[in-house]
Amino acid sequence: MPRRTMIEAIRDAIDVSMARDERVIVYGEDVGFFGGVFRCTAGLQAKYGKSRCFDAPINESGIVGSAIGMAAYGLKPCVEIQFADYMYPAYDQLTQEAARLRYRSNGDFTCPIVVRMPTGGGIFGGQTHSQSPEALFTHVSGLKTVVPSNPHDAKGLLIAAIEDPDPVIFLEPKRLYNGPFDGHHDRPVTPWSKHELGEVADGHYTVPLGKAAIRRAGSAVTVLAYGTMVYVAQAAVEETGIDAEIIDLRTLLPLDLDAIVASVKKTGRCVVVHEATLTSGFGAELSALVQENCFYHLEAPVARVTGWDTPYPHAQEWDYFPGPARVGRALLETMGA
Amino acid sequence: MVMTSGMLRFHVPEPEVRPGGTPDFSNVPIPKAGSVPRPDIDVDPRTIRDMAFSIIRVLNRTGEAVGPWAGLLTDEELLEGLRHMMTLRSFDARMQMAQRQGKTSFYMQHLGEEAVSCAFRKALAPGDMNFPTYRQAGLLIADGYPMVTMMNQIYSNEADPLKGRQLPIMYSSKEHGFFSISGNLATQYIQAVGWAMASAISNDSKIAAAWIGDGSTAESDFHSALVFASTYKAPVILNVVNNQWAISTFQGIARGGSGTFAARGLGFGIPALRVDGNDYLAVHAVAKWAAERARQNLGPTLIEYVTYRAGAHSSSDDPSAYRPKTESDAWPLGDPVMRLKNHLIQRGVWSDERHAQAEAEILETVIAAQKEAEGHGTLHAGGKPSTREMFEGVFAEMPPHLRRQRQQAGV
């Protein structure tokens, strides 16, 4: 099976979707001729023409707002916001329009759009190239929120998102674009070509939205993670030797609660890990759900390892980013060690 | 060179008159009917820049249709247009009263602006899509959308097509080319452009119409829409209804010291026309011109409708707190219903008697519709949408967490 980077997998997902359905339209800033600042749309304009893949003005509200109009017409726009940090001008359109259109019109109009956004830190991106705003989407009724962690899932989830009848926020951890990253910034990064999840089948396949994946089966503690933190958690587990079960959530909403509850009921302990800031982050929702659904099985408080409640700094990158050492400490504490 | 003291002073625009003052519109220049030329639809926008500063008018003081924009509509079409405007006015009055009687929570009238949406609708073709604000219900009335259904929505009753989820007057009808109304101002302006882009991408022949009020042009989505419409030459008509007021805020707060709202289009290379919004014939003729331009792939047009919000902003508003009570009487462009009525009398196809009779007939129709709607319930009495409906339609398929919540709610 061919191996692809996450960038190539995303590009392939869009390519497959555009070939299968001529209603799929792709645009965003630098997305057309140039093929995207991360190359995720490279070659698509040449292949499908300027009517299907084109450059947009630097106007996030305009990109999402026009996509909503296109969806109301009957197309399936898959648009890009260059960095998740720059989605805020489009937040009104995403939360009040895209998310509500089906509900408020009782299905008279719908909004099958995908909004792709590179997300996450670990790249010295500073304050506006590192944010993880997923909680700002999961809090909005009517939006689906997806975060892949590897090329195989990225392709399958993106095709599923494009085919989904509802608006999907597709957050791509840019730290994982070229290879997995476990937080050990002092070590060389291995490319996806050396990783089994870099195997990406040709052609059409989907990974269903709303289904988590168990990345490591274990019995001592459940780790809930997504995106880059899946690999950080794996490193922390290897380094502490704790027999943890690592669940890659993949979709934050709808959430695979059954998988979470089954695992925590088995292990009796839970550590939630995300890059985003702590307070009112998605980890708070996960922690509350575990507490509500697994209270009598819990043998320790649910722990959260997250970014600090500060803007994402530049020079202090590795003091901010929740790396394997911090995750490892939380695992040990949760085990009562 | 002008010398200043070196001390800056902050500028906040004020309307000419406040409550207690004498209304004064002498600062609003009104060109003579028939005086603005009618360019070809493929005109170079740069050559008609002056149209963004004039006002296209067809009906003159004596009710005659004059000039190059006249002559598009038959007697029958004009009589139908008059009926639509009278129906909207009567509908408004009844629904405003229903709100006062506690049958619904909220209403917004169109008083004085009936020509804008009623005449515009007649310039579109089946399949075209409007992206209206909350003050274009004439688009529905003029397209034959059932009044009873509108009232069912206003009453949030068991027959409400939107299942009680939406605030009154936030209608939605794909079938009638009326996009779902949102409470968030200006959002639909860029969506209209996207819809038009989609039509062009699909090599279709349908066009979109975007709607916005004078106040909301200050929202950033107005800018987004103009940029996208201009960049992609989208087949869209960009309508600005300048009714002089955004709740309590006079239009100068949104417009600043610039010439007109129409002039906003010029910087984007979009042809911009200004039209007498109380002149049914002028509104229709200008809309037709813009629709034809869009359909011929010649790109967007921006139209500013110069009108006056004669009623309160909404059922929750009292305009006497911020503008003279008699200001609407002083509005130099008059009343759209009276002006079309006079024109039809002048044409010899209408009379005061027939007008009074039509008014009574329309009122009867509206009351009958109201009775039927109230038979399905009002906000606080009678049939109402099921609580189960509250959980439906958030997504195409109900996800597990909503199923759990619906169960918790006991429905």
In this prediction the ipTM stands at 0.97
Task: Choose among B131, B183, B201: nearest Cβ to A25.
Answer: B201
* pLDDT on residue B259: 86
Rounded Cα gap, residues A295 and A289, in angstroms: 10
Side-chain-side CA neighbours of A174 within 13 Å: the count stands at 24
Phi, psi of B216 (to 5 degrees): -75, -10
Per-residue pLDDT tens over the stretch B215-266 = 999 999 999 999 999 999 999 999 999 999 999 999 999 998 778 999 999 9
Rounded Cα gap, residues B148 and B91, in angstroms: 10
Q: How confident is the model at residue A337 (pLDDT cuts 50, 70, 90)?
A: confident
* pLDDT on residue B26: 87
List the single best residue of B170, B181, B188, B190 to mutate versus A (max A Cβ within 10 A): B190
Per-residue pLDDT tens over the stretch B274-324 = 999 999 999 999 999 999 999 999 999 999 999 999 999 999 999 999 999
What residue in A sits closest to B194 (Cα-Cα)? A66
* pLDDT on residue A173: 98
Give the burial class of A141: count Cβ atoms within 10 A of its Cβ; 0-12 exposed, 13-18 middle, 19 or more buried.
middle
Residue A336 contacts B, CB cutoff 8 Å = no
Longest dimension (CA), chain B: 77
Per-residue pLDDT tens over the stretch A218-250 = 999 999 999 999 999 999 999 999 999 999 999
Cβ-contact B157, B165 below 8 angstroms: no
In this structure, what token pair is assigned to residue B366?
Answer: 């509206």
Walk along chain B (411 residues) and give the pLDDT tens digit of each residue: 666 678 999 999 999 899 999 998 988 899 999 999 999 999 999 999 999 999 999 999 999 999 999 999 999 999 999 999 999 999 999 999 999 999 999 999 999 999 999 999 999 999 999 999 999 999 999 999 999 999 999 999 999 999 999 999 999 999 999 999 999 999 999 999 999 999 999 999 999 999 999 999 999 999 999 999 999 999 999 999 999 999 999 999 999 877 899 999 999 999 999 999 999 999 999 999 999 999 999 999 999 999 999 999 999 999 999 999 999 999 999 999 999 999 999 999 999 999 999 999 999 999 999 999 999 999 999 999 999 999 999 999 999 999 999 999 999
Residue A210 contacts B, CB cutoff 8 Å = yes
Task: Choose among A62, A72, A164: nearest Cβ to B224.
Answer: A62
Are the Cβ atoms of B180 and A66 closer than 8 angstroms? Answer: no
Q: Of chain A residues 56-95, which have a CB less than 8 A from chain B?
A: 56-57, 59, 61-62, 65-70, 72-75, 77, 89, 92-93
Per-residue pLDDT tens over the stretch A153-189 = 999 999 999 999 999 999 999 999 999 999 999 999 9
Question: If residue A261 lies in a helix (H) or strand (E), which one and from where to where?
Answer: helix A257-267
**Cα angle A195-A196-A198, degrees, rounded to a multiple of 5:** 70
Ordered DSSP codes for A226-241: -TTHHHHHHHHHHHHT
Task: Choose among B166, B220, B228: nearest Cβ to A66.
Answer: B228
Q: Indicate whether this model's pTM tops 0.80.
A: yes
* pLDDT on residue A126: 96
List the single best residue of B201, B216, B390, B391 to mutate versus A (max A Cβ within 10 A): B201
- Within 8 A of A89 by CB-CB distance, chain B residues are 220
- Within 8 A of B172 by CB-CB distance, chain A residues are 104-106, 108-109
- Within 8 A of A65 by CB-CB distance, chain B residues are 187, 189-191, 193-194, 221, 224-225
Are the Cβ atoms of A254 and B401 closer than 8 angstroms? Answer: yes
- Within 8 A of B195 by CB-CB distance, chain A residues are 69-70, 72-73
Give the burial class of A321: count Cβ atoms within 10 A of its Cβ; 0-12 exposed, 13-18 middle, 19 or more buried.
buried
Rounded Cα gap, residues A48 and A45, in angstroms: 5
